[in-house]
């Protein structure tokens, strides 16, 4: 249950960081300048309202609210096992992101970016189909979930290289930290309200421990998704436009 919340949250932070790469074609910062990272951070902040609304010419989606249609994953960490599918996920709150720091590193045709962001509140709403076990407790079924995450901080680690005049992302890892979380479940256990409420209470009480256990899995799963997301847009742009 907590795992597909992490997936949805990681989608949000991944899109935030991937969108930063799309803003690069309009920046006025020169790569060999001493203040390149600071200049790029300012440009991203200025461009963010436009990105939130979407960029049709790049087939870039609206970011707030953000719709994510489908994802499937499996995990096995000792006493925690599960297979889950999330559907029709809607994420709101990305428009209020704060860009804290940005660090860029260049070596020949290799590139590395690190971006720290903070989001005051994210609301993640969607449907799921899950089976699994937590210790001796088996759980599963279809249902609806709503997650409110507050004071979300994330660091995006991006490695890339130049190829055929385009910037190709190799890895796009996002590491989120959540200060406060509230989870609501509806209609799980085939409508059994007592079991539904029991699981909801358990997850809301012990989510920090579950989060620490499962977040490494979510980071690995969404490395590939975030990389593909970024490359879809960067393939349309010359690297000379992205990194002047």
Report the predicted TM-score, pTM, of the whole model to 2 decimal places: 0.77
Give the model's pLDDT for residue 216.
81
If you ran DSSP here, which 8-state letter would residue 33 be given?
A: S
Check: CB of residue 112 under 8 Å from CB of residue 142: no
Give the model's pLDDT for residue 212.
84
Higher pLDDT, 76 or 99: 99
Mean predicted lDDT score pLDDT of the chain = 77
What is the average pLDDT across 49-63? 77
C-alpha distances in Å from residue 215, one per residue of 16, 34, 51, 129, 232: 18, 36, 27, 20, 25
Is a pLDDT exceeding 80 seen at residue 115?
yes
Residue 149: band (very low, low, confident or very high) from pLDDT cuts 50, 70, 90: very high
What is the average pLDDT across 214-227? 79
Can you tell me the distance from the alpha carbon of 165 to that of 238, in angstroms, rounded to the nearest whole number? 6
Residue 5: band (very low, low, confident or very high) from pLDDT cuts 50, 70, 90: very low
Give the model's pLDDT for residue 198.
84
What is the average pLDDT across 80-89? 79
Q: Any residues with CB less than 8 A from the CB of 150 and at least 6 apart, and which?
A: 120, 121, 178, 179, 180, 181
Give the model's pLDDT for residue 241.
64
Dihedral (Cα; 44, 49, 51, 54), 10-degree rounding = -170
What is the average pLDDT across 115-134? 86
CATH (one of 2.60.40.1930, 3.40.640.10, 3.30.1340.30, 3.15.10.30) for 2-242: 3.15.10.30
Check: CB of residue 131 under 8 Å from CB of residue 4: no
Can you tell me the distance from the alpha carbon of 49 to that of 45, in angstroms, rounded to the nearest whole number? 8
Q: What is the DSSP string of 174-212?
A: EEEEEEEEEEEEES-GGG-HHHHHHHHHHHHHHHHHHHH
Give the model's pLDDT for residue 181.
93
Check: CB of residue 207 under 8 Å from CB of residue 183: yes
Residue 137: band (very low, low, confident or very high) from pLDDT cuts 50, 70, 90: low
Check: CB of residue 4 under 8 Å from CB of residue 11: no
What percentage of the chain carries pLDDT values higher than 90?
14
Can you tell me the distance from the alpha carbon of 203 to that of 196, in angstroms, rounded to the nearest whole number? 11
Could you state, in order of their start, the residue ranges of all structural domains in the chain? 2-242
Is a pLDDT exceeding 90 seen at residue 3?
no
* C-alpha angle 18-20-23 in degrees, rounded to nearest 5: 125
Say which range, 29-43, 102-116, 179-193, has the weakest mean pLDDT. Answer: 29-43
Q: Any residues with CB less than 8 A from the CB of 235 and at least 6 apart, and which?
A: 166
Give the model's pLDDT for residue 121.
95
Give the model's pLDDT for residue 194.
87
Q: Which of 205, 145, 219, 144 is nearest to 177 (CA)?
A: 219
β partners of residue 236: none
Higher pLDDT, 21 or 196: 196
């Amino acid at each position: 249950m907590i795992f597909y919340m992490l997936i949805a949250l990681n989608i949000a932070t991944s899109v935030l960081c991937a969108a930063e790469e799309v803003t690069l074609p309009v920046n006025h910062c020169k790569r060999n300048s001493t203040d390149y990272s600071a200049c790029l951070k300012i440009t991203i902040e200025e461009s963010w309202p436009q990105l939130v609304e979407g960029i049709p010419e790049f087939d870039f989606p609206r970011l707030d609210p953000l719709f994510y249609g489908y994802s499937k994953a499996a995990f096995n960490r000792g006493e925690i096992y599960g297979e889950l599918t999330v559907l029709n996920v809607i994420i709101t709150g990305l428009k209020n992101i704060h860009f804290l720091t940005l660090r860029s590193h260049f070596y020949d045709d290799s590139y590395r970016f690190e971006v720290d962001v903070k989001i005051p509140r994210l609301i993640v709403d969607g449907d799921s189909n899950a089976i699994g076990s937590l210790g001796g407790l088996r759980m599963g079924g279809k249902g609806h979930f709503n997650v409110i995450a507050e004071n979300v901080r994330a660091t995006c680690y991006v490695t890339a290289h130049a190829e055929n005049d385009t910037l190709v992302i190799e890895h796009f890892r996002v590491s989120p930290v959540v200060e406060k979380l509230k989870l609501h479940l509806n209609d799980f256990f085939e409508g059994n309200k007592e079991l539904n409420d029991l699981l909801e209470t358990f997850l809301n009480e012990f989510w920090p421990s579950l989060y620490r256990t499962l977040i490494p899995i979510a980071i690995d799963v969404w490395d590939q998704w975030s990389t593909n997301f970024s490359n879809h847009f960067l393939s349309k742009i010359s690297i000379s436009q992205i990194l002047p």
